[in-house]
Amino acid sequence: MFVSPSFRISKKLGLILLIALLAVSAFSTVLKVGWTVEPDSVSPFIAYNLPAAEVFLLLYDPLVALNDQEEPAGKIAETWELSEDQLTWTFNLHEGIRWHDGEPLTAEDVKFTYELFINTGLGLFSGFLNGIESIECPDDFTVMIHTAEPKANMLMGNTPILPKHIWETVAEEDLELWENEPAVGSGAFAFLEWRKGEYLRLKANADYFFDKPKVEEVVFILFANNDTLAQALKTGEISAAVNINPMQLPQLSQSPNLLAVSSPGYGFTQLAFNCWESEDSKGHPALLDKRIRQAIDWALDKQAILDMTYLGQGEVGTTLIPPILQKWHYKPGDSELRVYNPEKANALLDAAGYLMGNRKIRVDSQGNELNFRLYLRSSNTQEIKAGQMIKKYLQAVGIEVSIETVDDGLLMDLIYADAEFDMFIWGWGTDVDPTTILNVMSTNEIFGLSDCFYSNEEYDRLLSLQASQMDVTQRQETVFAMQRILYEDSPYAILFYDNEFQAVRTDLFSGWKRIPEKGAFFFTINANNYVTVTPK
């Protein structure tokens, strides 16, 4: 008696809902991308994370962009030339480019943007402009940039050009509180709506100067966890997903309507050591001895860690620049390469004066134990797994590790405010140009970006040398030498080069392209997929 009427109602309701669903899912010219992290801001002076960098590629154009082969390709600048002394760059801009609000884009915008980044030093892009001395605009569509030394990475920065008429109204000291919403750019997509914690909508720029997007909108949808990401892709709620759970890849690759990739990414995960040689350092003094750091590297079975945390998707780490950057990655020779070998680790620790004590922990002659604090980020389950395995591997060679799991903010404080740590795990993303990541390890960056407080004079010398080497082969040699120094000194034990896990619907959209050849669809070196992808 009780059951039948309510059952009838729910059946009817189900039918209505079904119809509603069909009615709503009919807009396929909207490209919906699911992601798990949203930008920290859409202001290039506030944002520091990768999703923000991805959105800047859509909203703004640089002077010179990168093509699918990682080579410079003109964007706002149609052509450019370098003076004979290699100190003056002249960029000839396209005429007729307009901002999303209709104002024309001129050389003054370029000068203004570069100077604002240089003067404030804020954001992801200012580092790329190091070495620029002065900028002049002989006419509306010509920009001349003078540098003190030849500048090897002048064309590699992807620095977004911003509209002067908007940003000149913001006082410099207010830049870090000014949210830039709605953002006005000149890129292929214009800012439409951002509901933080839900979605970010961008609209195709109908007046785009270059090839116009084939979709009407791009909507980035934030997922609170990456397990449902794969499900939503299967149901068609989204047409593309970044940062999929690697455990779901094998299953996704079996679907005929999906293209799932696990591709080498521009970055790595490292176990970092506190190398600060200062009275103020709160790190364990034993870690200042490079033999101990090398011993730790020998003691880790990185392949096993990679298998356990990412199902083997990725590559075991060695030197600072990931192998996807073929031109710059230095591959250690057989004599240098450290591959899992506990005996070598034990021998190095013995040689460093730390002998096995009673508690199966090594001690030096004064009775100081090898006992390190390892900080892990609570937000990253893979890093936590890796940390637990590292603890076991180090225990086996007589090093005690106490794990502390903290939130990202606290870890940043521990590292950057006081250098109060022994070891921690996190990762870096790299650019196509090697300068940014190489710079992280320079003495100059202590209390800047340096997270291991490493310092080496020869390394610092080579860093400025490579920045001015216009000849690729010469620069390559310098960059290799720098990585050799780092690998020998081992301020990081680079655990692995992480893969990107992404998947797209091939039945809803065509024209997906991996960038570069074996790369991913999104979060790569340019935004071409968003523009070329076509609704079916």
Partner 1 sequence: MSSRYLGNKIAQALITIFIVLCINFFLFRIMPGDPLSMLMRNPRASQQAIQKAKEFYGLDQSLPVQFGRYLQDLLKLDFGVSFMFKKPVTEVIGGKVGPTLLLLGVSEIMAIVLGIYLGIVAASHRGKIVDIGTISVSLLLYSLPTFLLGMVLILIFSVYWGLFPSTGMVTAAARYATLWRQFLDLLSHLFLPAITLALTLIGEYGMLMRSSLLEVLSEDFIVTARAKGLREREVIRKHGYPNALLPVVTAISINLGLTIAGAIQVETVFSWPGIGRLMYDALNNRDYPLLQGIFLLVCICVIVANLFSDLLYMVLDPRVKS
Residue keyed to tokens 């396929």? 28
Q: How far is the CB of 185 from partner 1 (least distance, A)?
A: 20
CB-based contact 236:21 (threshold 8 Å):
no
Of 108 and 237, the one with the shorter C-beta distance to partner 1 is 237
Of 118 and 144, the one with the shorter C-beta distance to partner 1 is 118
Q: Using DSSP, how many helices (H) and how many strands (E) does the chain show? A: 15, 22
What's the rounded Cα separation, in Å, for the pair 306 and 379?
18
CB-based contact 241:229 (threshold 8 Å):
yes
Q: How far is the CB of 193 from partner 1 (least distance, A)?
A: 8
Q: What are phi and psi of 257, to 5 degrees?
A: -90, 0
Of 23 and 335, the one with the shorter C-beta distance to partner 1 is 23
Q: How far is the CB of 237 from partner 1 (least distance, A)?
A: 5
CB-based contact 495:271 (threshold 8 Å):
yes
CB-based contact 68:513 (threshold 8 Å):
yes
Of 451 and 489, the one with the shorter C-beta distance to partner 1 is 451
Q: How far is the CB of 9 from partner 1 (least distance, A)?
A: 13
Q: How far is the CB of 20 from partner 1 (least distance, A)?
A: 3
Task: Mark 440-468 as b/e (b = at least 16 C-beta within 10 Å).
Answer: bbbeebbeebbbbbbbbeebbebbbbbbb
Q: How far is the CB of 467 from partner 1 (least distance, A)?
A: 18
Which amino acid, 45? F
Of 206 and 224, the one with the shorter C-beta distance to partner 1 is 224
Q: How far is the CB of 190 from partner 1 (least distance, A)?
A: 14
CB-based contact 325:519 (threshold 8 Å):
no
Footprint of partner 1 (CB under 8 A): 14, 16-21, 23-25, 27, 30, 32, 34, 40, 46, 48, 120-123, 173-177, 179, 195-199, 201, 217, 219, 221-225, 227-228, 231-232, 234-235, 237, 379, 406-410, 412-413, 416-417, 447-449
The CB density around residue 485, as the number of other CB atoms within 10 Å, is 15
Of 193 and 477, the one with the shorter C-beta distance to partner 1 is 193
Q: Judge residue 310's burial from the number of C-beta atoms within 10 Å of its C-beta, 0-12 exposed, 13-18 middle, 19 or more buried.
A: buried
Of 304 and 410, the one with the shorter C-beta distance to partner 1 is 410
Of 151 and 203, the one with the shorter C-beta distance to partner 1 is 203
Of 67 and 120, the one with the shorter C-beta distance to partner 1 is 120
What's the rounded Cα separation, in Å, for the pair 475 and 457?
18
The CB density around residue 168, as the number of other CB atoms within 10 Å, is 12
Q: How far is the CB of 322 from partner 1 (least distance, A)?
A: 23
Q: How far is the CB of 333 from partner 1 (least distance, A)?
A: 36
Structure tokens at 465: 């040398």
What's the rounded Cα separation, in Å, for the pair 314 and 140?
48
Structure tokens at 418: 């006081």
